[in-house]
Amino acid sequence: MSKNKEKVDLEAMRHSCSHVLAQAVLDMFPEAKLAIGPCIDDGFYYDFDLPRTLIPEDLPLLEKRMKQIVKQNQKFVEKKEPADKALEFLEMTGQKYKAELVKEFAKDGKEISFYENVMHGDGKAAFVDLCEGKHVEHTGQIGPFKLLKISGAYWKGDEKNPMLQRIYGTCWHTREELDAYLKQLAEAKKRDHRKLGVQLDLIRFHDISPGSVFFLPKGTIVFNKLIEFLRKEYVKREYDEVITPLVYDKSLWETSGHWEHYKDNMFQVDMDGKEASLKPMNCPSHMLMYKMHLKSYRDLPVRIADFAMLHRNELRGALGGMTRVRKFCMDDAHCFVTPEQIEDEILACIDFVQFVYKEVFDFEYDVVLSTKPEKAMGTDEQWDNAEKALASALKKGKIDYELNPGDGAFYGPKIDFKIRDSLKREWQCATVQIDFQMPERFGLEYEGKDGKSHTPIVIHRAILGSLERFMAILIEHYAGALPLWLSPVQAKILPVSEKFNDYAEKVAKELKAKDIRVEIDASNETLGKKIRNAEMQKSPYMLVVGEKEVADKTVAVRDYATKEQEVMTLQDFLKGIEADLVVGQ
């Protein structure tokens, strides 16, 4: 049987499992109205309109009923009906959401597809659902499953529609796979930056400004250190940082095209009785900056970087943690180049990304090259050249990449970098995009070698992407134990008792003089409690000081990562961490 399950299609199995869930829900609440129940990454969900709010205790009851259904080996049988008959059936059974869907499908004039769960033996239908498939042959082919959580969801995702109850579940070929998945889920939950961010006193959220992170002092240190690191790299890599306004008259967005395509995503501001917007991205303002000086080919490449706070008016319901925000800072930059410089500049961007991902954070990552989409601006020649430049740079950089034909931006092809974190989850962060359109829209120019005016090409590139989002990834990747150079508290000093507070102060002073971020736990707790508290805060080093340490002028260094403890002088401690304090050298 298990063998059999491994052969069945995973998506079909999960979709079938969602039908089994719906059948179990109908058994529990005969008046339940069904909405939709698709399979998703790693599982499935089903949305219901129910007579009462579900409680966590309902899930085991539903699972129990589902297991019975699985054991019954109910057959999945497709049945086609004309639209009017289908509608009549659904309205009769009170399935108003399904009826609404049929009305939409009916426009195509096609027959409507149902799936019945037919009982082994009497051939009666135990359950029937409006559905286009695909399914396994019978419920017995459904592998080990688990219902995960209940949440609210608007019908069709629109907040003007009724709120439904969504049940999430997962389903796998084998018990081992299910267990591994549940374990990973538990680990991800433990590492959730929304939870860890609060526990580690990095961030808070507040309804007074939904989607904007409040960075507490410790979170601010991490954020500022990321920027400080990038600034150092900018000096090395000859980027020019600028500071730009946040509110712009609508005419800027008309030139850039955002007014037409992106207006609803921008926060509107009344400025001098005229329409203006908070900027959602830096590109248009950097086009203005480029134009503030005359340029010759000798001045290119010009690389303009910015840490401006960007605002995007995301739907309130879509906001969550630091990954889905309304206010964020992006480490984006715009490199203005001549056509001849594209390849070298792309190579330099790739080098920057690799340096940060490999050398600094040791992330694994995948690279994807996306080419001309169907709807694209610019000539075929421009696209050809740009795509060749990207491919050639990747080849020269000896970088394996996946081709994603037709997935480029409308203004040019791009290379995306997807990092894999310690839980093997993928995050799209860095991007390198070629753009022929924006420079033309803004009428950018440089004087070429020929003395004539030319239009530069722009390379949009981000390394970390949104700093807020990258910080969330780091928190989850490192389970909160950030690398030394990013740690808000690099060394926590733990006096064994109050008697040693003075010595602790002395140690703290010496470390501060070396720019080490320290905290002393001068509370009345026992050493054991102090150590446990410090571990909760995930400080890379604890320095325990007691009688022996005072006498020998040493500290007992406890390493968070290895849990090892070693007594040494402060000088030796400093020497030992020297290399980890600096980054990107």
Which residues 220-239 are close enough to bind its own copies by CB under 8 A?
220-221, 223-224, 231, 235
181 touching its own copies, by CB under 8 A:
no
Question: Cβ(517)–Cβ(490) under 8 Å?
Answer: yes
First to last CA, the chain: 57
Question: Cβ(526)–Cβ(556) under 8 Å?
Answer: no
Which of the stretches 33-41, 214-222, 502-510, 575-583 binds its own copies when contact is defined by CB under 8 A?
A: 214-222
Q: Considering only CA atoms, which of 513, 470, 507, 511 is closest in space to residue 219?
A: 470
Residue 447 φ then ψ, to 5°: -85, 120
- The neighbouring-strand residues paired with 367 are 417
Total residues found in the chain within this entry: 585
Q: Considering only CA atoms, which of 584, 550, 582, 585 is closest in space to residue 569?
A: 550
Nearer to its own copies, 55 or 513 (CB): 513
213 touching its own copies, by CB under 8 A:
yes
Residues 6 or more apart whose CB falls under 8 angstroms from that of 261 comprise: none
Q: Provide the minimum distance between the beta carbon of 292 and its own copies in the complex, in angstroms, as a whole number.
A: 5
d(CA 451, CA 585): 41
Question: Cβ(535)–Cβ(487) under 8 Å?
Answer: no
Rg (CA), the chain: 29
212 touching its own copies, by CB under 8 A:
yes
Nearer to its own copies, 314 or 407 (CB): 314
Which of the stretches 89-97, 104-112, 247-255, 428-436 binds its own copies when contact is defined by CB under 8 A?
A: 247-255
Site residue total, its own copies (CB under 8 A):
53
380 touching its own copies, by CB under 8 A:
no
Q: Which of 11, 88, 177, 241 binds its own copies (CB under 8 A)?
A: 241
Q: Considering only CA atoms, which of 458, 460, 431, 453 is closest in space to residue 341?
A: 458
Question: Cβ(438)–Cβ(287) under 8 Å?
Answer: yes
The structure tokens listed for 24 are 């179990």
Q: Which of 168, 181, 215, 500 binds its own copies (CB under 8 A)?
A: 215
Print the binding letters for residues 507-546 with its own copies: x by CB under 8 A, - otherwise. Answer: -----x----------------------------------
Q: Provide the minimum distance between the beta carbon of 196 and its own copies in the complex, in angstroms, as a whole number.
A: 16
209 touching its own copies, by CB under 8 A:
yes
Q: Please state whether 424 falls in left (phi above 0), alpha (psi between -120 and 50) or beta.
A: left
288 touching its own copies, by CB under 8 A:
yes
Print the binding letters for residues 300-339 with its own copies: x by CB under 8 A, - otherwise. Answer: ----x----x-x-x--x---------xx------------
Q: Which of 245, 406, 443, 584 binds its own copies (CB under 8 A)?
A: 245
Q: Which of 28, 125, 153, 246 binds its own copies (CB under 8 A)?
A: 246
How do beta strands 491-495 and 541-545 pair? parallel
161 touching its own copies, by CB under 8 A:
no
d(CA 441, CA 141): 58
Q: Which residues bind its own copies (CB under 8 A)?
A: 201, 204, 206-210, 212-217, 219-221, 223-224, 231, 235, 240-249, 251-252, 267-272, 276, 278, 285, 288-289, 292-293, 304, 309, 311, 313, 316, 326-327, 512
